[in-house]
Amino acid sequence: MSRAFILLMDSFGIGGAPDAESFGDKGSNTLGHIAEQCTIGNADKKGVRHGPLYLPNMEIIGLGHAAYQSTGNYPKGFSSQIKATGLHGAASEISKGKDTPSGHWEIAGVPVKFDWGYFPDKMPCFDDSLLDGIVKVGNLPGALGLCHASGTEIIARFGLEHIKSSKPIIYTSADSVIQIAAHEQSFGLERLIDLCEKIRILVDPYNIGRVIARPFVGNAPDNFERTGNRRDFSVLPPAPTLLDKVKEAGREMIAIGKIADIYAHQGPTQVIKASGHDNLFQRTLEQAIKAPDGSLTFTNFVDFDSLYGHRRDVVGYAAALEEFDRKLPELISILKDDDLVIIAADHGCDPTWTGTDHTRENIPVLAFGPQIKAQNIGTRECFADIGQSIASFLGVGTLEAGKSFL
């Protein structure tokens, strides 16, 4: 019986979506701009890149051709003469946001047709009623931040005051999110998680997609560091997703990394917590060896987004892409005859773009496996085509949205 694997490269966009201009992202291109900057050897202020971006394994599957489908151009260093060995193309998003839940839910067959709630970009960005409620349910002496901010920057700015006062650092971004940063030792990890669970209830009337616990360690601004104990508290998807279909069919749905959090733990039968790309890939390899027939394994590689995209680190993003690419042959070597692997993304986060937010981009769709034939699937009109294809491949029924390309 067939098995399926989704490798979700968080934020790996391949060129502006058709509606990118309405999001202020016309011209954004995560892959294209990284490749361009690597080629000219002047990647960003954080370091100088020597040599072009080198992703031979994804290129042979069809990444360059997928990028061409999205933009009409091949990324710098990619060849139009490569004969792809896998199924390849691009996909556009129809959900109304360029955030993590919207992209993931649409991939799993449930586009977000409603408008998320957002906090205004002013100081304070949270109204008095919400702040009073947070302070009350958490028995807090107050709160710090209360603005739109980058997670690493706001920890450096308020971390010492937080440690001294026990006031959590609360902030947001252009996404539908409220984030709470707190020190793992001085504030306590369990206390932070409990606070976020209570805040999840408080922000439901605001239609906020996620509450994120952002624990950190260190004793000074220059060594504060966020840990792998992050937790996302998401609202439930509005309809059954691919994950639910797999579970309802009596199959194993194995969620690695933050996948279970993104789907509010609705659907997974196994949850494997892991952080860092090396660890996430290792856990995925383990499932490629032992996951049962008929199963779906879904891994989110978040560092592309959180460590490099949002931080506008071109050099770091490029290195992470190359390391991911180097690991693919090991996965390919242990696949079973009927396995399917799909590489995709949930949005863009162009590290050359202004600001620190996600970018509205098309995503790559790369599929391979021993029985998967090379095919150009063009640019799909909806991310849900991915979920519908997997549902068809595994024989678990049909989803409400999407058209299979298999």
Residue ranges per structural domain of the chain: 3-113+238-394, 128-233
Identify the pLDDT of residue 147.
95
**Counting Cβ atoms within 10 Å, is residue 193 exposed (0-12), middle (13-18) or buried (19+)?**
middle
C-beta of residue 53 within 8 angstroms of C-beta of residue 325? no
Buried b (16+ CB within 10 A) or exposed e, 242-280: bbbbbbeeebbbbbbbbbbbbbbeebbeeebbbbebeeb
Helix axes 314-333, 30-40, angle to 10 degrees: 110
Instruction: Name the β-bridge partners of 172.
Output: 148
Q: How many Cβ atoms sit within 10 Å of the Cβ of residue 73?
A: 14
In 196-241, which ranges are E strands?
Answer: 210-217, 225-226, 231-234
* CB count in 10 Å sphere of residue 383: 31
Q: What is the structure's pLDDT at 174?
A: 85
In this prediction, residue 29 carries a pLDDT of 98
Tokens found for residue 385: 């085509």
Q: What is the DSSP letter of 185?
A: I
Task: Give me the tens of pLDDT residue by residue for the chain, a chain 406 residues long.
Answer: 899 999 999 999 999 999 999 999 999 999 999 999 998 766 666 666 778 999 999 999 999 999 999 999 999 999 999 999 999 999 999 999 899 999 999 999 999 999 999 999 999 999 999 999 999 999 999 999 999 998 889 999 999 999 999 999 999 998 899 999 999 999 999 999 999 999 999 999 999 999 999 999 999 999 999 998 999 999 999 999 999 999 999 999 999 999 999 999 999 999 999 999 999 999 999 999 999 999 999 999 999 999 999 999 999 999 999 999 999 999 999 999 999 999 999 999 999 999 989 999 999 999 999 999 999 999 999 999 999 999 999 999 999 999 999 9
Q: Tokens representing 391?
A: 């549902």
Q: What is the 8-class DSSP label of residue 206? A: G
**Two domains, one topology: 3-113+238-394 and 128-233:** no
Secondary element (H or E) of residue 161: helix 151-165
**Helix axis angle, 63-71 relative to 30-40, nearest 10°?**
110
Class of domain 3-113+238-394: alpha beta
CATH topology assigned to domain 128-233: Alpha-Beta Plaits (3.30.70)
Give me the pLDDT at residue 88, please. 98
| Measured distance CA(290)–CA(334) in Å, rounded | 10
